Every structure is written in C-alpha cells, then in structure tokens.
A and B are shown apart, each in its own frame.
Chain A
Amino acid sequence: QLQLVESGGGLVKPGGSLRLSCAASGFTFSDYYMNWIRQAPGKGLEWLSYISSSSTTIFYAESVKGRFTISRDNAKNSLYLHMNSLRAEDTAVYYCARDPAGTGWFDPWGPGTLVTVSS
C-alpha cells in the first residue's frame, strides 16, 4: 500500500543543521510531486516546500527560503529536507506528503518526525 515514512528528526541546537528523509513505497515515486509540511506544537499546518517529479521545479515558503533545501533521489525512492540555521521556531513535527496532481493537494502523508531546536 502507499506509504511514506519520515526519519532524521531529533534535538538540535539553535544554528545547527539537520537532514530529514522520507522513504516512499507502494507507488512509482518518480512520477509524483512531493512536499514537506510542518506543525509546531499545538499549532496549525504550515506548508514548507514542493519539488516536481524531476526536480526541475522547486518552491519554498518564505519562512524557510534560504535556510532549507528540498531534494529527492528517485533511484532510492526518497525525499529529503536539508535544514540549516535552525531556530527555536522551527521546532515542529515535519511531514512529507505526495501531491498526486501537482496542484497542491496531499495524499498520503507520512506519520511525521519531530524536530526540536533547543540549547
């Protein structure tokens, strides 16, 4: 069945870096746009980034532009989020999600991985 599983979260100090991974299975990963979305504790959902199937189109939210980099490896069925210059306000559960039509709706979502930025 369709499955996405994030990994790589953890505790990191302010100013530090982290790389999140998202392993996809159950579908042809290379055919689909992919996204990262996050949710701070007790808060709503925030879209972060979008990457097209061949990595030719990439968009970022203003809140992470210049600090986060989305990438993918279609041979490994994997999506990544490289996060630099982390701040306390980046503390959140990070979800990866498939975008079936490339028009900004997400299905399925992974279970998420928690990133905590604290000294």
Chain B
Amino acid sequence: QSVVSQPPSASATPGQRVTISCSGSRSNIGSNYVNWYQQVPGTAPRLLIYSDDQRPSGVPDRFSGSKSGTSASLAISGLQSDDEADYYCASWEDRLNGVVFGGGTKLTVL
C-alpha cells in the first residue's frame, strides 16, 4: 500500500472535466509540495504539475492542480482522447527522507 493514495481508475467522456484525488498525511502532502505526472503506457512519465499548482512550459492550461491540507487534486478540463493515460501524484515524505508516489490512477476517455 502506498503512503499516498489515489483512486485506481477514473473515466469521463471527451470534453468533460475530470478530477483525480490524492490523499496523504501531515508528513508528506501536509507539509510538502505535491507534483503530478502523466504516463502513457510504454513511455516515460512526464511532469504535469509541480509545487502544487504550477504548470511547466508546454503543458496545456486544461491541466490544473490544487491542494488543501493533506489532500490534493488534479483537474483536467476539455478532456481529449490523448489524455488517456496513468496519472501519479507524488510528494516528499519527511519521515522517510524521500519521495513517495501515489499508486496511480488510470484515466479512460470513453
């Protein structure tokens, strides 16, 4: 079991808005930034959101991140078929002196 938890799956139709949650504790999300990654099967992960809500250059503004307390969310609006991928949240874990990843959420675009 991951220290940080995510729902294993999510789905929505093209054009809709979907949110993926990420739940942790005071020693990780509650006191450190949350980062989000997108991974299309067979490829390396790609950074989507860093420092809770910052988008790297090249990431569309359809992707947004937020955090409150020990939980965080990734929102994708105007869903497109090529958004179908696995999404991972991650945060520094103070008790382990390392990064912990959520178990990943498989997003299906119906």
Please provide the chain B residues from 54 to 108 with a CB less than 8 Å away from any CB of chain A in the complex.
Answer: 56, 88, 90-92, 96-104
Chain B facing A: main interface SS = strand
Tell me, yes or no, whether A11 is within 8 Å of chain B by CB. Answer: no
A44 touches B44 (CB 8 A): no
**Cβ-defined partner of A107 (8 Å) among B47, B91, B98, B102:** B47
Kindly state the separation between the CA atoms of A111 and B37 in the bound complex, as whole angstroms: 14
User: How many Cβ-Cβ contacts under 8 Å join chain A to chain B?
Assistant: 65
Contact partners of B96 in chain A: CB under 8 A: 61-62
A50 touches B98 (CB 8 A): yes
Tell me, yes or no, whether B46 is within 8 Å of chain A by CB. Answer: yes
CB within 8 Å for A44 and B35 given contacts A107-B50, A112-B44:
no
A47 touches B98 (CB 8 A): yes
Tell me, yes or no, whether A109 is within 8 Å of chain B by CB. Answer: yes
Contact count band on B:
20 to 34
Contact partners of A108 in chain B: CB under 8 A: 47
Tell me, yes or no, whether B32 is within 8 Å of chain A by CB. Answer: yes
21 contacts between A and B (CB under 8 A): A44-B2, A44-B101, A44-B102, A44-B103, A50-B98, A60-B98, A61-B96, A61-B98, A62-B96, A95-B44, A103-B33, A104-B32, A105-B47, A105-B50, A105-B51, A106-B45, A107-B47, A109-B45, A110-B44, A111-B44, A112-B44
Q: Which residues of B contact A (CB under 8 A)?
A: 2, 32-33, 35, 37, 39, 43-47, 50-51, 56, 88, 90-92, 96-104
